[in-house]
């Protein structure tokens, strides 16, 4: 199997769709439903890439990214923010330490996008 990708998304149906896209691209998926779970899963599983929703309960994606970047165990894991809010959070996500910010429909509709992200960052 390919790389390990942590998919962080609070909506079950969206997370499941992202999971399927990543798995169809040949990669293993670890899941988290909020930012706190994302930090726990990243620390435990050391994924090769994190696909991070930004607007979530508990910890949002910005807060989770800052925490991941501040921990030497997770600071180098590539994080791609995936959001429906586009420009609203783009600057904050990049300042928090995300490597890239993508709009959600592009990722879920395109298997080649998943493979290119994994190739680029993992």
Q: What is the pLDDT of residues 5-32, one digit of tens each?
A: 999 999 999 899 889 888 988 999 999 9
Q: Rounded mean pLDDT of 64-72?
A: 97
Is domain 4-121 given the CATH code 3.40.50.2300 in the classification?
A: yes
Nearest to 80 by CA among 70, 90, 67: 90
Q: In the prediction, which pLDDT does 35 show? A: 96
What does pLDDT average to over the chain? 89
**18, 29, 66, 94, 111 from 22: Cα distances, Å:** 6, 7, 24, 23, 8
- Burial class of 105 by CB neighbour count within 10 A (0 to 12, 13 to 18, 19+): exposed
């Amino acid at each position: 199997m390919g790389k390990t990708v942590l998919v962080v998304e609070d909506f079950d149906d969206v997370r499941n769709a992202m999971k399927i896209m990543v798995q169809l691209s040949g990669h293993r998926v670890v899941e988290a439903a909020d930012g706190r779970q994302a930090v726990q899963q990243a620390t435990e599983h050391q994924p090769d890439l994190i696909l991070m929703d930004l607007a979530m309960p508990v910890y949002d994606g910005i807060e989770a990214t800052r925490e991941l970047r501040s921990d030497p165990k997770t600071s180098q894991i590539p994080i791609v923010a995936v959001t429906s809010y586009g420009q609203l959070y783009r600057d904050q996500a990049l300042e928090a330490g995300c490597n890239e910010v993508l709009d959600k429909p592009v990722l879920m509709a395109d298997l080649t996008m998943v493979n290119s992200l994994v190739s680029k960052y993992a």
